[in-house]
């Protein structure tokens, strides 16, 4: 009896995350997928459903032949959506690289700081999360605009003679993404670097390695798990980012998040916008699967 209870308890614990994924991921996914296979119309809601839940499973199989992939074919034929996907991937990749270049030295310095100072540094990294994300992005408008703080400061120092055009450009989007997602890069890197045995660095230097060579041969390879985790945490949300390109990038910045918003709210084309969301989700699944496999390989090597 005791073994039966413990076995049921173990299965219940395992079932909780699967139930969570089913309710909050699979069910919304299939709802959006159903809408993406529908046709747009002037109604509330603005689409003609090809399948109603009231029809049951038998009705679903009867209407399988009526499912239409026209919305997905429309995405493939229209260069707007293709360019939006490519632009989003490019901006997210460049932003992730810039975030890594900024976040790695910061995390390394935190990990090598004295033990008494590390909690303070960690709190300073987490502190921006206490402020609204929207307010933080709006603050960058006041910093980057022609009469903003950055241009005024550079002109005061005599570095520039006239204001730089940074606002409403892709550069402003890069700045906004790097600033907003920097903690997502720093925290996993810090967690990895803080656990590293730095006696390995001392041993390498005693054997003739320069500090730079010791970093590339020992420190960086041992921190790859944190690098991959940070890159995924930055890249995945940056691809579908809407607020930052809308506020800082202006009308010239093309990203799939803005395109999705326009289709859903401005054009009220729910089927096409749902197809855009499904394709975006499938694109983002690939780096997640790669990250999980990389983690599994790292654990096998460590074991």
Query: What are the pLDDT digits (tens) for 25-58?
Result: 888 888 888 888 887 777 777 777 776 666 655 5
User: For 174, what's the count of Cα atoms within 13 Å in the CB-facing half-sphere?
Assistant: 17
Give the pLDDT score at 38: 81
Give the pLDDT score at 98: 97
Give the pLDDT score at 262: 84
- Terminal CA-to-CA distance of the chain, rounded, Å? 35
Q: Does 190 have pLDDT greater than 60?
A: yes
Query: What are the pLDDT digits (tens) for 244-260?
Result: 998 898 777 889 888 88
Domains of the chain: 69-302 (1.10.3720.10)
Q: Does 178 have pLDDT greater than 90?
A: yes
Choice between 291 and 19, residue whose per-residue pLDDT is larger: 19
User: Do 204 and 217 meet the contact criterion of CB atoms below 8 Å apart?
Assistant: yes
Choice between 100 and 282, residue whose per-residue pLDDT is larger: 100
Three-state DSSP class for 48? strand
Three-state DSSP class for 47? strand
Q: Does 298 have pLDDT greater than 80?
A: no
* Residues in contact with 7: Cβ distance below 8 Å, sequence separation at least 6, in sequence order: none
Q: pLDDT-derived band of residue 188, with 50, 70 and 90 as boundaries?
A: very high
Query: DSSP assignment, residue 223?
Result: T
Q: pLDDT-derived band of residue 62, with 50, 70 and 90 as boundaries?
A: low
User: pTM here?
Assistant: 0.85
| CA angle 269–59–43, rounded 5-degree value | 25
Give the pLDDT score at 123: 92
How large is the average pLDDT for residues 60-86?
78
User: Do 204 and 124 meet the contact criterion of CB atoms below 8 Å apart?
Assistant: no
Give the pLDDT score at 282: 85
How large is the average pLDDT for residues 203-222?
85
């Amino acid at each position: 009896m005791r073994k039966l209870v413990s076995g049921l308890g173990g299965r219940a614990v395992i079932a909780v995350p699967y139930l969570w994924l089913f309710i909050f991921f699979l069910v919304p996914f299939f709802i959006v997928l159903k809408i993406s296979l529908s046709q747009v119309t002037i109604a509330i809601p603005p689409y003609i459903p090809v399948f109603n839940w009231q029809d049951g499973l038998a009705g679903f199989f009867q209407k399988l032949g009526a499912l239409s992939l026209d919305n997905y074919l429309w995405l493939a034929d229209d260069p707007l959506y293709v360019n939006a996907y490519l632009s989003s991937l490019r901006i997210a990749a460049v932003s992730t690289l810039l975030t890594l270049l900024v976040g790695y030295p910061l995390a390394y310095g935190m990990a090598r700081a004295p033990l008494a100072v590390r909690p303070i540094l960690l709190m300073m990294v987490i502190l921006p999360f206490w402020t609204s994300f929207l307010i933080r992005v709006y603050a960058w408008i006041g910093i980057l605009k022609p009469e903003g703080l950055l241009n005024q400061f550079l002109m005061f120092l005599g570095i520039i003679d006239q204001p730089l055009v940074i606002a409403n450009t892709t550069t402003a989007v890069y700045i906004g993404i790097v600033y907003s997602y920097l903690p997502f890069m720093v925290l996993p890197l810090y967690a990895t670097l803080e656990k590293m045995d730095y006696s390995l660095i001392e041993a390498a230097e005693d054997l003739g390695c320069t500090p730079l060579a010791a970093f590339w041969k020992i420190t960086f390879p041992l921190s790859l798990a944190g690098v991959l985790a940070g890159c995924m945490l930055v890249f995945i949300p940056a691809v579908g980012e809407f607020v930052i390109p809308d506020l800082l990038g202006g009308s010239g910045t093309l990203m799939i998040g803005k395109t999705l918003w326009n289709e859903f709210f401005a054009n009220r084309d729910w089927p096409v916008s749902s197809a855009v969301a499904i394709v975006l989700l499938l694109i983002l699944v690939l780096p997640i699967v790669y990250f999980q496999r990389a983690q599994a390989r790292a654990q096998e090597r460590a074991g």
